[in-house]
Structures are given as structure tokens and as C-alpha cells.
Amino acid sequence: MRKASVARKTAETDITVTVDLDGDGRYGVKTGIGFLDHMLEQLSRHSLIDLDVAATGDLHIDFHHTTEDSGIAIGQAVAKALGDRTGIRRYGSALVPMDETLTRVALDLSNRPYLIWNVDFPRAKVGDMDTELFKEWFQAFAQNAGATLHVENLYGENSHHIVESCFKALARALREAVEIDPRKADSVPSTKGTLGGA
């Protein structure tokens, strides 16, 4: 069973995360940040990864620590659930439209973390949330999930749509990458025999 739980507690946040890579997109998300909750629910629903997130953080300061640390904890849980990554498809990609917006994500669960973030926002905030924080979430997720992750917004005018298309495209790419390949379910998808390293 490809399930995992992670608990992360610091002076700034207290977060528990549970994932089931072979779920059906069920979620229970409570971070104290409404828009972030909405994005994480989209991530679960469109990846078909069951996701439970309970987070408390220093929201009286700002949303930065809770946003970044939720990305860390979710990434760690995904990596833990993947184990040695035997049998996974490894690669995934998605092109997701949302009204006037189009976003592309390419993903390699290589265990070599890297983020390319080609996303600009026309507004500094979506609701109460600073749009610059979304790069922090994706960076934290990629680093801790062991993912090479390229996110590119091709065009768009509405910041809400741009953010949401990024999360949905990640979800669809992740859904593909974590799937077990029935043609090679017994081996790690690398000529090295292991994922990670140069």
C-alpha cells in the first residue's frame, strides 16, 4: 500500500499530512488559509491522490511559513509513499486550460529536485494571499518530493485562474508519474537501477 504520513512541527508551524497514492481523490484539508485549502483540494481531486492536511501556523505574521511548510510536508509524504519508486511511470506532463489561461507542467520523479517556475501574476494578491508564495509552495514540494518540476504559464490574465491551472496541471502530471507501469512494475525506471544522484 503506497500510503504515508508525515508530522512536521517547528516554532512556526505544526503540520500533519497523510497521502494515499492509489486513492480516488478524497481530501480533508485545513491550513487556515482558505485559498491554499482550495488549491490543495484541487491537487488531490485531479491527481486522485487522497490527501489529508491539518496545519496550524503563525498566520498572525503572514501566510509564508504555513504555505511553504505545507509544501515541505506534502512533498515528504509523497516521497515516503513512493518508497524506492519501483514500477512507477516516473514522468508526467499536463497542459491545463482554465478560461483564458493555459499552463503546462512537466514532471520527473527522479529523486533529483529542481524547479523551473515560469509564472507571472498580473496581481500581487489573490484574496488575502500573496501570489509570490505559490513559487515557495512549488519549490518546497519539488525539493521534498524529489521531483524535477517545470511549471510554465503560457498565457493568462486572471491571477486566480493562473494559480489554479498550475495546481491542476501539477495534479494531472503527478497522477501520471506515480502510476505503476504494468509493463515494468518490478523495476526502478532508470538504467542506473536507482533514482537519485547525478
Distance (Å, whole) CA 189 – CA 186: 9
pLDDT band at 119 (very low <50, low <70, confident <90, very high): very high
Residue type, 11: A
Distance (Å, whole) CA 160 – CA 31: 18
* Residue 189 confidence (pLDDT): 58
Look up the pTM and report it: 0.94
Q: Please name the CATH architecture into which domain 3-178 falls.
A: 2-Layer Sandwich (3.30)
pLDDT band at 184 (very low <50, low <70, confident <90, very high): confident
198 pLDDT more than 50: no
**Cell numbers for 159:** 491571477
The Cβ of residue 139 has, within 10 Å, a number of other Cβ atoms equal to 19
The Cβ of residue 126 has, within 10 Å, a number of other Cβ atoms equal to 21
**Cell numbers for 136:** 515557495
Question: Shortest CA distance to 51 belongs to which of 63, 65, 59, 39?
Answer: 39
Distance (Å, whole) CA 146 – CA 149: 9
pLDDT band at 193 (very low <50, low <70, confident <90, very high): low
64 pLDDT more than 80: yes
Average pLDDT, the chain: 94
Distance (Å, whole) CA 64 – CA 194: 34
186 pLDDT more than 70: yes
